Amino acid sequence: MKENLGGPFGAALVDAQGTVYVGSNTVLGSHDPTSHAEVNVIRQACEANKSHDLTGSILFTTCYPCPMCLGACIWANIKTVYYGCTPQDAEAIGFRDDFIYRYIQGGCTDEQILELLPSDREACLQLFAEYSALQKEIY
């Protein structure tokens, strides 16, 4: 945090085997808006466990996870997250997660925030059909 790599956000993940992974927010240092502490420790644990499935893991964070990090927890099958500060606490010091929660609660329809437009569905459906025919693992 003092090195100005990211905000006051940290996370620790304890996997099912008891191994602890620790990470921090590195958005500013990496120039990557997805480098939140939770995502960073999930990436570490997945790589170390050679699996995208972190069932049995517990995540500890300094703040309630943003929508992206909530999604990462769900995708990784993390069922328990302990957090310190609330989204309102983060907003009070200038972080802007709260408007994303409102956008999602509003059905993702505010085009001032993000415009979602369908494009070339038929070609994409063909890709999906080809993948399905390969009978690959679905995650």
Active site residues: 38
Alpha-helical (H) ranges within the chain are 27-30, 37-49, 67-75, 87-92, 97-105, 121-134
Whether the Cβ atoms of residue 38 and residue 72 lie closer than 8 Å to each other: yes
Neighbours of 39 (CB within 10 A): 23
DSSP 23: E
Angle in degrees, 0-180, between the axes of helices 97-105 and 67-75, rounded to the nearest 10: 70
- What gap in Å lies between CA 138 and CA 63, rounded to an integer? 31
